[in-house]
A and B are shown apart, each in its own frame.
Chain A
Amino acid sequence: MKIVKNRWFWFLFSGVLVVSAVVALATFGLKQGIDFTGGTQLSVRFEKRPTPVDAEKAMAVFNLNTMTIQPAGDTDLIFRFKSIDEDTHQKMIKTMESTFGKVTELQYNAIGPAVGVELRQKAISSLVIIFLLVLAFIAWSFRKVSAPVQSWKYGTVVLASAFHDVIIPVGLFALLGKFLNWEIGTPFIAAVLTIMGYSINDTIVVLDRVRENLQKTTGTFEEIVERSIQQTMLRSFNTSMTTILALLAVFFFGGESIKEFALALIVGIATGTYSSIFIIPSLLVTWNKFSHKTKQAGTRA
Chain B
Amino acid sequence: MSKPSTVTVPRSAVKQRALLLLVLALLVGGVAYPPAANRVIDTMNYWVGTHLGHIEKGFVLGLDLQGGTRLDYEADVSQVPASERAASLDGVRDVIERRVNSLGVSEPLITTAQAGDSWRVSAELAGIRDVNQAIKLIGETPILEFKEENTEPQRDLTAEETKAMDAKNAEAKKKAEADLAQALKDPGSVEALAKSDSSDQASKALGGDLGFLKGKPQYQPILDAVKNLKAGEVLNRLVDLPGAYVIAKVEEVKASDPQVNGRHILIQWAGAQSAPTSTTRTKEEAKKALEDIKKQVTAANFTDMAKKYSEEPGAKESGGDLGWFGKGDMVEPFEKAIYAMKKGDVSDIVETQFGYHLIFKADERPTNDVRARAVFIKQTQASDILPPQGEWKNTQLGGKQLKSAKLDFDQNSGSPQIALQFDDEGTKLFADITKRNVGKRVAIFLDGNVEIAPTVQTEIANGQAVITGNYTIEEAKTKAMRLQQGALPIPIKLIAQQTVGSTLGQDSVNKSLTAGIWGFVFVALFMLFWYRLPGLMSIVSLCLYVGISFSIFKLLPVTLTLAGIAGFILSLGIAVDANVLVFERLKEEVKSGKGWLQALEEAFRRAWPSIRDGNTTTLIACAVLYWFSSSIIKGFALTLAVGILTSLFTSIIVTRTLLRLVAMTELPKRMPWLFLNKTEDKK
Chain A contact residues, CB within 8 Å of chain B: 35, 43, 45, 86-87, 89-90, 104-112, 114-115, 118-119, 122-123, 126, 129-130, 133-134, 137, 141, 186-187, 189-190, 193-194, 196-198, 200-202, 204-205, 208, 231-232, 234-235, 238-239, 241-250, 252-255, 257-258, 261-262, 265
Select B625's contact among A137, A194, A231, A239, beta carbons within 8 Å.
Answer: A194
* 28 A–B contacts from the bound complex (CB under 8 Å): A86-B131, A90-B132, A106-B504, A107-B499, A109-B496, A112-B74, A114-B495, A122-B629, A130-B621, A137-B617, A190-B632, A194-B570, A197-B619, A197-B621, A198-B617, A231-B588, A234-B584, A242-B526, A242-B574, A245-B522, A246-B571, A249-B515, A252-B515, A254-B514, A255-B511, A258-B562, A261-B563, A261-B566
B164 at the interface (CB under 8 A from A): no
Given contacts A235-B584, A246-B522, contact A107 B501 (CB under 8 A): yes
A123 near B628 (CB under 8 angstroms)? Answer: yes
- Taken together as a complex, chains A and B put the C-alpha atoms of A245 and B613 apart, in Å, by 23
Q: B125: shortest Cβ distance to chain A, in Å? A: 13
- Taken together as a complex, chains A and B put the C-alpha atoms of A186 and B131 apart, in Å, by 24
- Taken together as a complex, chains A and B put the C-alpha atoms of A105 and B68 apart, in Å, by 12
- Taken together as a complex, chains A and B put the C-alpha atoms of A87 and B494 apart, in Å, by 13
Select B522's contact among A137, A194, A234, A248, beta carbons within 8 Å.
Answer: A248
CB-nearest residue of chain B to A130: B624
Given contacts A243-B574, A246-B570, A253-B511, contact A201 B618 (CB under 8 A): yes
Q: Summarize A's interface: helix, strand, loop or mixed.
A: helix
Q: B152: shortest Cβ distance to chain A, in Å? A: 43
Select A241's contact among B494, B511, B526, beta carbons within 8 Å.
Answer: B526
A249 near B518 (CB under 8 angstroms)? Answer: yes
Given contacts A86-B131, A247-B569, A247-B570, contact A108 B498 (CB under 8 A): yes
B617 near A187 (CB under 8 angstroms)? Answer: no
- Taken together as a complex, chains A and B put the C-alpha atoms of A31 and B364 apart, in Å, by 93
A201 near B496 (CB under 8 angstroms)? Answer: no
- Taken together as a complex, chains A and B put the C-alpha atoms of A254 and B572 apart, in Å, by 15
Q: Which residues of A contact B495 (CB under 8 A)?
A: 111-112, 114-115
Chain B contact residues, CB within 8 Å of chain A: 72, 74, 115-116, 118, 131-132, 135-136, 494-501, 503-504, 507-508, 511-512, 514-519, 521-523, 526-527, 530, 562-563, 566, 569-574, 576-577, 580-581, 584, 588, 609-610, 613-622, 624-625, 627-630, 632-633, 636-637, 640
A252 near B617 (CB under 8 angstroms)? Answer: no
Q: B134: shortest Cβ distance to chain A, in Å? A: 9
Q: Which residues of B contact A265 (CB under 8 A)?
A: 570
Q: B87: shortest Cβ distance to chain A, in Å? A: 24
A86 near B633 (CB under 8 angstroms)? Answer: no
Q: B12: shortest Cβ distance to chain A, in Å? A: 33
- Taken together as a complex, chains A and B put the C-alpha atoms of A86 and B630 apart, in Å, by 23
Select A110's contact among B116, B497, B526, B613, beta carbons within 8 Å.
Answer: B497
Q: Which residues of A contact B613 (CB under 8 A)?
A: 137, 141, 204, 208
Q: Which residues of A contact B116 (CB under 8 A)?
A: 118
B570 near A250 (CB under 8 angstroms)? Answer: yes
CB-nearest residue of chain A to B620: A133
CB-nearest residue of chain A to B621: A197
A245 near B580 (CB under 8 angstroms)? Answer: no
Given contacts A107-B499, A110-B496, A200-B617, contact A255 B569 (CB under 8 A): no
Q: Which residues of A contact B580 (CB under 8 A)?
A: 235, 238-239, 242
B566 near A254 (CB under 8 angstroms)? Answer: yes
Given contacts A118-B115, A186-B632, contact A245 B621 (CB under 8 A): no
Q: B58: shortest Cβ distance to chain A, in Å? A: 22
Q: Which residues of A contact B570 (CB under 8 A)?
A: 194, 243, 246-247, 250, 265
Q: A173: shortest Cβ distance to chain B, in Å? A: 17
Q: Which residues of A contact B512 (CB under 8 A)?
A: 254-255
Q: Which residues of B contact A245 (CB under 8 A)?
A: 519, 522-523, 526, 573
Most buried by B among A114, A190, A231: A190
Q: B163: shortest Cβ distance to chain A, in Å? A: 49
Q: Which residues of B contact A108 (CB under 8 A)?
A: 497-499
Most buried by B among A106, A208, A246: A246
A204 near B498 (CB under 8 angstroms)? Answer: no
Given contacts A115-B72, A208-B610, contact A190 B636 (CB under 8 A): yes
Q: Which residues of A contact B636 (CB under 8 A)?
A: 187, 190, 194
Q: Which residues of B contact A114 (CB under 8 A)?
A: 74, 118, 495
A250 near B628 (CB under 8 angstroms)? Answer: no
- Taken together as a complex, chains A and B put the C-alpha atoms of A133 and B630 apart, in Å, by 21
- Taken together as a complex, chains A and B put the C-alpha atoms of A245 and B523 apart, in Å, by 6
Q: B180: shortest Cβ distance to chain A, in Å? A: 52
Q: B108: shortest Cβ distance to chain A, in Å? A: 18
Q: Which residues of B contact A249 (CB under 8 A)?
A: 515-519, 521-522, 569
A104 near B618 (CB under 8 angstroms)? Answer: no
Q: B541: shortest Cβ distance to chain A, in Å? A: 13
CB-nearest residue of chain B to A162: B617
- Taken together as a complex, chains A and B put the C-alpha atoms of A265 and B563 apart, in Å, by 12
Beyond A126-B627, A194-B636, 11 extra complex contacts between A and B, CB < 8 Å: A43-B504, A86-B132, A104-B503, A107-B498, A110-B498, A122-B630, A123-B628, A198-B618, A245-B523, A250-B566, A254-B566
A105 near B566 (CB under 8 angstroms)? Answer: no
B523 near A197 (CB under 8 angstroms)? Answer: no
Q: B138: shortest Cβ distance to chain A, in Å? A: 11
Query: Which are the 3 A-B pairs with shortest beta-carbon distances?
Result: A197-B621, A243-B573, A246-B573
- Taken together as a complex, chains A and B put the C-alpha atoms of A231 and B613 apart, in Å, by 18
Q: A70: shortest Cβ distance to chain B, in Å? A: 16
Q: A233: shortest Cβ distance to chain B, in Å? A: 10
Q: Which residues of A contact B569 (CB under 8 A)?
A: 246-247, 249-250, 254
B622 near A252 (CB under 8 angstroms)? Answer: no
Given contacts A105-B499, A246-B519, contact A204 B617 (CB under 8 A): yes
Q: Which residues of A contact B135 (CB under 8 A)?
A: 86
A186 near B630 (CB under 8 angstroms)? Answer: yes
- Taken together as a complex, chains A and B put the C-alpha atoms of A235 and B581 apart, in Å, by 6
Q: A142: shortest Cβ distance to chain B, in Å? A: 9
Most buried by A among B508, B571, B588: B508
- Taken together as a complex, chains A and B put the C-alpha atoms of A283 and B424 apart, in Å, by 75
Q: A293: shortest Cβ distance to chain B, in Å? A: 31
Q: B481: shortest Cβ distance to chain A, in Å? A: 27
Q: Which residues of A contact B508 (CB under 8 A)?
A: 255, 257
Q: Which residues of B contact A243 (CB under 8 A)?
A: 570, 573-574, 577
